[in-house]
Structure 1
Amino acid sequence: MYPLVRFGTGDLSALLDAPCGCGRTTPRLAGFLGRVGEGVKVRGMFVHPRVLDRSFA
């Protein structure tokens, strides 16, 4: 069984080298580590923080 992984483009993760406690030998993800950029997707549109800064100024 494979877990459902829903990382988006620009999400950062890493592979773990340590073996799993259950004995499986497949690569494991370290989880969500951050983002490549500062932009996020909101209601289907990419929004960058600078756009929000300008709109609230």
Structure 2
Amino acid sequence: MRFGTGDLSALLDAPCGCGRTTPRLAGFLGRVGEGVKVRGMFVHPRVLDRSFA
């Protein structure tokens, strides 16, 4: 079952230290509605924060 929450996240490639084999989330990255398209590319405010830091 999938839910359309609008949350953005990423999957981690590294296995869990406890030995489970299910996919792990890297954490909350933001909301879908916060991004904008600039010259055909999807840009999220968090990406801009990293590039100016």
Taking structure 2 as the reference length, what is the TM-score of the superposition?
0.50
- Tell me the percent identity: 98
Quickly say closer, same or farther: Cα 1:54–1:29, change in 2 above 3 A: closer
Q: Deviations over 1:30-55 (max 9, x none)?
A: 11111111499999999999999999
The number of residue pairs the alignment matches comes to 53
Structure 1, unpaired ranges of 5+: none
Following TM superposition, the consecutive aligned residue runs of length 4 or more in structure 1 with deviations greater than 4 angstroms are 5-8, 39-57
Decide whether aligned partners of structure 1 residues 37 and 14 sit closer, same or farther in structure 2, where only a CA change above 3 A counts. same
Structure 2 unaligned runs (5+)? none
More strand, by proportion: 2
Larger helix share, 1 or 2: 2
- Give the TM-score taking structure 1 as reference length: 0.47
